[in-house]
Amino acid sequence: MDLTGKKIAILATNGFEQAELEVPQERLKKAGATVDVVSLAAGEIKGWDKKDWGRPVKVDKTLDEASAADYDAIVLPGGQINPDLLRVESKALKFIKDIFDAKKIVAAVCHAPWLLIETGIAKGRKMTSFKSIKTDVANAGAKWEDAEVVVDQGVITSRNPGDLEAFCAKIVEEVKEGRHTQRSAA
């Protein structure tokens, strides 16, 4: 699937699960997309790799420099630290919600569905997540499913790093399809 001409934002901050940022970044670039790592501040952000701090990743744009209008999709990596830090940042939540409201693709893996809860996107949707936040997702009004990838009108969710191949393939497929103009609000 060729994503030439498509732009995808990966929104993350320190503590992102290493593979959940790097694998989608690599797969989406390989498919031809332009991929920007967007974060709260310029410079680098540091990942979390299984049980300890991982490698730094260069930030391409800050939230102040990024606009939802510039992107066809947003990818939200998990890890426990990253989405917990982002869900209290109003600029991050607005960026996610603006992409969603423009009927573009929103993809979240592991603990990143916390961001879909915080923005109100989770309510009324079929979703999955890391098993430890299953109750959070259900309490937010989503129908939680135990599957490697769940898609509901352009909102893509996966459980953990073991699901990344299916997650990335689904992102490519959904971005190729384009906007979800029939997407309903919950």
Whole-angstrom distance, CA of residue 4 vs CA of residue 141: 36
Nearby residues of 124 by Cβ (< 8 Å), 6 or more positions away: 141, 142, 186
Annotated catalytic residue within 92, 105, 110, 151 = 110
Whole-angstrom distance, CA of residue 118 vs CA of residue 123: 10
168 catalytically annotated: no
Residue 19 near residue 164, CB atoms below 8 Å: yes
Query: DSSP E strands: which ranges in 61-133?
Result: 61-62, 73-76, 105-109, 126-127
Whole-angstrom distance, CA of residue 1 vs CA of residue 135: 35
111 catalytically annotated: yes
Q: Record the tokens describing residue 128, joined without a space.
A: 């999955």
Annotated catalytic residue within 27, 111, 125, 159 = 111
Of the chain, the end-to-end C-alpha distance in Å amounts to 31
- Annotated catalytic residues are 110-111
